[in-house]
Amino acid sequence: MKLPVYLYGHPVLRNVSEPLPADYPGLKELVAEMFEAMYESEGVGLAAPQIGKNIRLVVIDADPVAEAFPECKGRKFALVNPEIEILDGDKVSRPEGCLSLPGISEEVPRVEHIRLRWLDEDLNPHEEEISGFLARIVQHECDHLEGKVFIDHISGIRRQLIRRKLNDIVTGKTRTDYPVRYAPTVKRR
């Protein structure tokens, strides 16, 4: 049974997630299931709130976009309790999408150089300077841990233009080719 991806409108996506405790049971199994759900839905990143868990855990496999963004080549990792330090405040806008917001792509301004500290799935600590599109993916996923989604970064005008698409997601009218869970207010049909 593949994990469903929780869609925009579900309150779990709006909570600030809790640090993952060192004795969290079944972490490796959960990481494996999250990778599976991410590959099933052809994403390059997935954060635990998107599978209904408000814990600070992210999986990323950026390799599929390595042709356009060489810094993504072979970059597959799980991030436990990640922390971002901004190294250069200049922002660049590029289109982003999100498995929790199917059918929506918007330009999002983000910084391009960060220092990332995290634990891997064996809880070993890592620290690395990360740039370019990989830094964007990391920021997008870490936003989920703060209860944010990428459209929180777009203008009111842009948001108005995607209002109908957002409404379709919130009301359960959007169709996806991967398993999803709608907001609890959506009636089962």
Interface residues with Ni ion (CB under 5 A) are 98
- Quote the DSSP letter at residue 69: -
Contact 110, 139 (CB under 8 A): yes
The one-letter amino acid code at 49 reads P
141 belongs to the catalytic site:
yes
Nearer to Ni ion, 54 or 187 (CB): 54
Nearest CA among 58, 55, 28 for reference residue 46: 58
Annotated catalytic residue, options 71, 96, 141, 146:
141
Cα 36 vs. chain centroid, distance in angstroms? 14
Smallest gap from Cβ 97 to Ni ion, in A, equals: 8
DSSP string covering 84-99, please?
EEEEEEEEEEEEE--T
Q: Between 98 and 142, whose beta carbon lies closer to Ni ion?
A: 98
CB of 144 to Ni ion, least distance (A): 6
Scored b (16 or more CB within 10 A) or e, 96-113 reads bbbbbbbebebebebbbe
Closest to Ni ion by CB, 88 or 159: 159
**Least CB distance from residue 25 to Ni ion, whole Å?**
26
CA–CA distance, 187 with 189 (Å, rounded to integer): 6
Least distance (Å) from Ni ion to the CB of residue 78? 16
Closer residue to Ni ion, CB minimum distance, 98 or 145: 98
CB-based contact 59:32 (threshold 8 Å): no
Q: From CA 172, how far away is CA 186, in angstroms rounded? A: 6
Do strands 45-47 and 5-6 pair parallel, antiparallel, or not at all (unpaired)? Answer: unpaired
Residues labelled catalytic: 141
